[in-house]
Amino acid sequence: MNIVYISTAHKWKERGVTRGLYEALKNLGHRVIYLKELDMDVCTDNDVDEVWGMFSGRIFTDAQASQIKARKVGFNLTQKHGLIYRRHYDIMYSSTIDENTEFFIPSIDPTFHRNYYSDRTIKYGFFGKIRGHRIQMLSDHPEIVAFDITKHGIKLIQSLNSVQVGIDLESKKLAHTIPHRIMEYAACGCMVCCLYREDIARIFEYGKDIVEYKGRLPEYNAEIAESGYRVAQQQTYSRRVKEILNG
CA 234, CA 236: separation in Å to the nearest integer?
6
CA dihedral (150, 123, 229, 209) in degrees, to 10, reads: -120
pLDDT score at 94: 33
Find out if CATH 3.10.150.10 is the number for domain 122-232: no
Count of H-run helices and E-run strands, the chain: 9, 11
pLDDT score at 143: 96
CA 220, CA 86: separation in Å to the nearest integer?
37
Exposure on the CB side of residue 229, measured as CA atoms within 13 A? 19
What string of DSSP letters covers 106-129? P-B-TTTS--------EEEEEES-
Q: Which residues 6+ apart lie within 8 Å of 62 measured at CB?
A: 92, 93
Give CATH 3.40.50.2000 domain extents, the chain.
122-232
In the predicted model, residues of the chain with pLDDT beneath 70 are 8-19, 54-60, 62, 74-105, 115-117, 148-153, 171-177, 247
pLDDT score at 169: 81
Q: What pTM, to 2 d.p., does this model score?
A: 0.76
What would the CATH number be for the domain defined by 2-104?
3.40.50
pLDDT score at 95: 34
> Greatest CA span in the chain, whole angstroms?
57
pLDDT score at 145: 95
